[in-house]
């Protein structure tokens, strides 16, 4: 049985910018062109990224933003749920655009480091079930599964 493919959503940058703008206004943060630019650039990235990778990406595209601005903007984007933060084992903090994929989780091979993104509706149900037991309603969850390819020597994913 082949696992279901996870399809990347179409990302509507204008809609994201509107959501970010109303968040900034509600929370009384300044809406700066730099902050909006950072969000636009994030929407161009294909998947997970670190703050440093975003910094390098922006500078190679001529956006002269400071690291401090990138960090503080990522913090704000995380607060308003446009960006989700992952702390993958043995790795630096990774970010991704929440709307890039439907709610998904991550599977890692501990030998070759291959990462798979998957969506499992049963898992969403389980999350709702567990939260309900404590009279809570889930906002988000994050699950990392650590696994192993069948044959380490012949693994085609080995770097």
Chain positions contacting Zn ion, by CB under 5 A: 109, 111-112, 117, 149, 155
In the complex with Zn ion, which residue's Cβ is closer, 35 or 48? 48
Query: Which of 10, 42, 7, 44 is CA-nearest to residue 118?
Result: 7
Closest distance of CB 17 from Zn ion, Å = 22
Task: Please say which residue, 63 or 111, places its beta carbon nearer to Zn ion.
Answer: 111
- Residue 24 or 109: the one with the smaller Cβ distance to Zn ion is 109
Nearest to 142, CA basis, from 124, 115, 116, 122: 124
What is the closest distance, in whole angstroms, from the C-beta atom of residue 48 to Zn ion in the complex? Answer: 6
CB of 83 to Zn ion, least distance (A): 11
* C-alpha distances out from residue 66 to 28, 80, 90, Å: 22, 21, 26
> Which residue lies nearer to Zn ion by CB, 112 or 127?
112
Give first-to-last CA distance, the chain, whole Å.
Answer: 26
As measured in angstroms, the least distance from the Cβ of 68 to Zn ion is 26
Residues making up the chain, counted from first to last? 159
- The pairing of beta strand 105-109 with beta strand 144-147: parallel
């Amino acid at each position: 049985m082949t696992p279901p493919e996870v399809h990347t959503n179409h990302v509507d940058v204008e809609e994201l910018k509107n959501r970010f703008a109303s968040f900034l206004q509600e929370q009384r943060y300044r809406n700066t062109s730099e902050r909006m630019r950072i969000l636009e650039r994030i929407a161009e990235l294909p998947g997970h990224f670190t703050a440093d990778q975003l910094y390098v990406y922006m500078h190679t595209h001529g956006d002269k933003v400071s690291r401090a601005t990138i960090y503080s903007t990522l913090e704000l984007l995380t607060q308003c749920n446009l960006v989700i933060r992952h702390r993958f084992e043995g790795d630096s903090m990774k970010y991704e655009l929440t709307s890039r994929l439907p709610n998904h989780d991550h599977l890692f091979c501990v030998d070759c480091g291959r990462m798979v993104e998957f969506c499992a509706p049963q898992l969403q149900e389980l999350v709702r079930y567990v939260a309900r037991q404590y009279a809570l309603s889930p906002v988000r969850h994050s699950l990392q599964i650590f696994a192993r390819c069948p044959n380490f020597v012949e693994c085609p994913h080995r770097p």
